[in-house]
Every structure is written in C-alpha cells, then in structure tokens.
Chains A and B, each alone.
Chain A
Amino acid sequence: MSGMSKIVKTIASLAFPFVMIYGLYIIAHGHLTPGGGFQGGAIVASGAAMILVAYGSVWTMGKVKEKHLSTLESTGAIVFIGTAILGLLFAGVFFNNFLFDSNLIFNIVPTGGSTVGILNSAGTLPIMNFAVGLKVVAGLFAIVLVMAYATTKMGGNEK
C-alpha cells in the first residue's frame, strides 16, 4: 500500500494529535466514566491506523518496527499481571486492590462532594487500565500494520 495524496496526508497529520489525546483521555478516565483500556486503546490504534492508510505501509514500517510493538505489548501484559501478583504479595489475595485506601497513589476513597469523580482514586484500576491500553494500542496497531504490509508483498495477485 503506497501513500495517498498530499491533502489526505496533511489532514491526517492534523487530526492525529486530537485522536491521540481523546484516546488517552478515555484510557485515563477508565475508572470514572465509560471506557477504559480497551476502548481508549482502540481509539489510539485507529488513529495510528489512519496515519498508516494516509502514508502507506512501507513508510510506516520504516518508522515503527513490529518488534518494538510486540515488546510494548508484552510490557502491557506484564504490568497487568504484575499488578495482580503485587496484590498477592502485599494484600494476600491475587488481584487484590492493594493501593485502595493506602498512602501511595490512586488512594482517595470517594465519599461524596468534591471527591466524587476524582482521577486520583480507585487503587490499582487505573494502572491496569493503562497496562491494557498499552497492550491494545500495540497489539491492534501491529495487526493492522502487518496485514497492510502483507498486501504489499502479494505483488501482482491483487487488482
């Protein structure tokens, strides 16, 4: 897949930051509003896929290595399971929300008033959301990238 016209490239570059911000917002507010790691990750990955479509898979493959994506993906999964195992180590139960009501981060217990909907709450959930988000971004983008790249290799079979 080669790149598209200059107009498409420019518009895609302009829209890309906004899509990113929106996706990251969805990930970060996963424990407060609808959404979370997967949904936000899917948004970010679709933003990246937009760039891929606009600039072509060969160009994108030069910028982003599929190996790095799988490293990121593994990191996300390790953080997720690692948080669960930390729950086992610190609080005695696998998946335990050990940060909740502790003196570390994400520790505020919402009791009404101004504490409702505060970002710094919900214990391990935001961390897990970020981990899932990282995994989904890397995973989905790797899928799209590899598939797009595979079609270029098919050569004359298509069209």
Chain B
Amino acid sequence: MIPLANPVPYIAVIGLVLVGLFAVVFKRNLIKIVIGITIIESGVNLFLITLGYRENSIAPIYTSSPGGLMSLPVPQALTLTSIVIGVAVLALMISFIVHIYRHYNTLDASKIRGDEE
C-alpha cells in the first residue's frame, strides 16, 4: 500500500499533472504545449521517486555506505529511464516545431491544420 504518512509530495504530483494537462489543453502556443508535457512528465517522475522514498533513508549506494535504511533503488532506475525517454521525446517535439514554424510561419496550435485534400 502506498504510504500516506506525508501526503505533500502526492498533492504536488497531482498538482503538476493537472497543471501540465491544463497547459496542453488550453495554451495555444506549441512551445507551451510542449512545456505542459514536460510538466506532466516531472509530475509522474516525482510520483515514482516518492514511492521509493522511505522516511530517514539514505541513498541506495553500497560502496562505503554508513548503513541503515536505504530508499528503494528500483523506482529511481525507472525514473532515470523515464527521464532518458523524456529527453528523446522533447528533442523530437522541438525539432518538429522548428519544421512547423518553417512551413506555417506561426506557432498557434489552432492554425496548424493538415491538408483536407
């Protein structure tokens, strides 16, 4: 069961995801939409990290470790993977935006439409 001793990080997670979705849905600038996606990603990453954290724990490194409770390493590995993927997606989206700007001369999402024919 998810430990709900300290709910602040979870509230932050929900807040970040909602802010990101808000930005994606209501902002018209393509760059702001991309920023919204990045915010959602940060929220999800924070969620993963928070799941692995235990109260008063140390980083999970065995080399010259002082001993005691360690936080879970698996969510940190997952977060890292997710960050790596995020970088790739971000780069791809930004380069699409460069091309879109070249073709349309605008970044307004409502004006970026495909050919009907």
Contacts and interface: CB of A to CB of B under 8 A. Distances in A.
Asked if chains A and B are in direct contact (CB within 8 A), the reply is: yes
B63 A32 contact: yes
A143 B92 CA distance: 9
Given A140-B87, A143-B91, 20 more contacts: A33-B61, A33-B63, A34-B59, A38-B80, A38-B84, A116-B63, A116-B64, A117-B63, A117-B64, A147-B91, A147-B94, A147-B95, A147-B98, A150-B95, A150-B98, A151-B98, A154-B98, A154-B101, A157-B101, A157-B102
Interface of A: 32-34, 38, 42, 116-117, 140, 143, 146-147, 150-151, 154, 157
A135 to B, nearest CB: 11
Nearest to A146: B95
Interface string B48-92: 000000000001011110000000000000001000100100010
B102 to A, nearest CB: 7
A150 B84 CA distance: 23
Main secondary structure of the interface of A (DSSP, over half): helix
A118 B55 CA distance: 30
A37 to B, nearest CB: 10
Contacts of B91: 143, 147
Nearest to B62: A116
B74 to A, nearest CB: 15
A55 B98 CA distance: 22
A34 B61 contact: yes
A110 B64 CA distance: 12
A117 B101 CA distance: 51
